[in-house]
Structure formats: structure tokens, C-alpha cells
Amino acid sequence: MNVVPQRVHDAVARAREVTDHPVLEHLARVGLVAYGVLHLLIGWLTFRIAWFVQPGTEDADQTGALQAVSESPGGQVLLWGIGLGLFALALWQAGEVLRWWTGLLHPARRLRTGVVCTKCAAKAVVYAVLGLTALFFAVGAGYQADERFQAMADDALEIPGGSTLVVAVGLGVAAVGLYVLVRGVTGKFMRDVDLDSAPDRWEPLIERLGSFGYVAKGIAFTVSGGLLVYAAATRDVSTATGLDGAMNAIGGVPTGRWLLTAVAVGFMAFGVYALVRARYPDRDPAT
């Protein structure tokens, strides 16, 4: 009766050995560097929308950042590095699920373990999607996330119950945004940094950068989710373009230029925080 569970346990143990391998850890750090660079570029593109270019002429999102990389000298090589690094980061993050899954077998720890595993799996999916998008650009295929996001929302509204589905997705995105915002306010993101290895004098700066970055990301994602709900209510998907739509919406309100500037600086701050995390990563998501 215990043969199948034991085989599963052995298979998971072997998979954990792969995700714990030092080579994968080094590649995952490359992925964290790439993740940080993408946020720096998104911040710069957002700043340009606030001050230098007409809203809607540039994509202030992940694809806009990757497009900027592709147009730089040696951009194709950099895109391959970014893509493979993010895939390694996704695999490394998925390893957290393998590290903690046994808690699901214990009723007292099941809820906490389920939350941790869900967050780790979601992060792994996000990193993998970003890595795949980077490889699309590396081979010259390109990918416009804002247009695809808008088309999916439009298609969803045409099916029975589609409005309810779009509202649910929008509320989910907004909930993620609020979670990210709260994480920035409470400083829980510091648990992802190995503070024992980082110089003590850096800790206040790391916390300020991370806090500002997480709050800015949280605001952007919350606005993005709100735009999806608005699209479902009005059946107008013109602003439902994901992160890029959120940036343009923030820029369109009174004093929007200054709000968008603050968001841009926040994304840059998060990019620097991600670079610090690449230098001093902590893999324990449960503490």
C-alpha cells in the first residue's frame, strides 16, 4: 500500500537535488539580475511616458523592456541570457514547492504549506512566462503583451458569462496588487534577502528600495485589475492592456505626470532591490 507514496517521495527527492544544485543557483541568480534589469527598463519607459513621449506611443511593460533590449547592441545575445536565466529562476522557484510539499500531509501545517506552495508555484509560472517572452524576442518573433491582453479580454466578453470571468480575473489581479502593496508596507519582502550575508550598513537602504518598489508595483497591478473590472462593466477594452494600460491610466489623472514619475522611480527601486537579492538570495519563503 505504501509503494506508490514512497515512489512519489523518491521522485520528489531526486527533483529537489536538481533544484538545489549549485549550478542552477548560479543560473537563477542570472535570472534575478535579468528580472531586476527588466524592472529598471520598465521604470525608464514609464518615466519617458511621464515626461518625454506621447502616452500610448511606447509600451511601459515587460515587452516594452524586452523590445528596448533587442534594439541595443548585442541585444539578441542579451535576450537569450535573460530568457534562459528567467527559466532557471522559474525552476529554482518551483523547487520551493518540492521543499515544502510534505507539509500538506500534516493537517496542522496543511493551510500554511498550501499558501507557501501556491505562491512559489505562481512565481515560477510568472518567471517562466517572462523567460518565454524573452526568447520570442531573441528569435525575432516579438510579442505585444498589451495587445494580446486586450484581445483576450475582448474575446472573453463575447462568450456567455464572459463579463463575470473578466471581473473575476480583474479582481484577482487587483488582489495580487494589494498583496504586493501590503508586502511593501510591512517589509516582509526582506525575508527573500539573506541579511546574514549582506553588510549590516546596507540593510536600511535595501529595505527602503524594496518598500518603495513593492508599493509602486502594487499600485500598478491594482490599477490594472481595476481597468479589467471597468472593461467588463462598460464592455470597452481600450484601456484593458495590462501593466501598460495601468501606467497610461495613472498618467491620465490630475497630477498624473508626478504620480507616474513616482511609480517609475518605484519600479527602478524594485529593479535595484532585485539586483541586491541576486547577490544575497534567501530561498526560505516560509519565514
DSSP one-letter string for 18-64: HHT-HHHHHHHHHHHHHHHHHHHHHHHHHHHHHHTS-TTSS--SHHH
Q: Please give the pLDDT value at position 1.
A: 44
Q: Please give the pLDDT value at position 287.
A: 39
Q: Please give the pLDDT value at position 119.
A: 82
Q: Low-confidence residues of the chain, pLDDT below 70?
A: 1-21, 54-58, 100-106, 142-147, 240, 283-287
Q: Please give the pLDDT value at position 103.
A: 64
How far is residue 208 CA from its own chain's centroid? 19
Q: Please give the pLDDT value at position 4.
A: 46
How many C-beta atoms lie closer than 10 Å to residue 118's C-beta? 11
Q: Which helix (H) or strand (E) holds 258?
A: helix 256-279
Asked if 268 and 44 count as a contact pair (C-beta separation under 8 A), the reply is: yes
Q: Please give the pLDDT value at position 142.
A: 64
Asked if 195 and 280 count as a contact pair (C-beta separation under 8 A), the reply is: yes
Alpha-carbon gap, residue 155 to 283, rounded angstroms: 39
Q: Please give the pLDDT value at position 273.
A: 94
Instruction: Specify the pTM.
Output: 0.83
Q: How far apart are the first and last CA of the chain?
A: 35
Asked if 125 and 155 count as a contact pair (C-beta separation under 8 A), the reply is: no
Residue type, 282: D
Q: Please give the pLDDT value at position 56.
A: 62
Q: Please give the pLDDT value at position 167.
A: 86
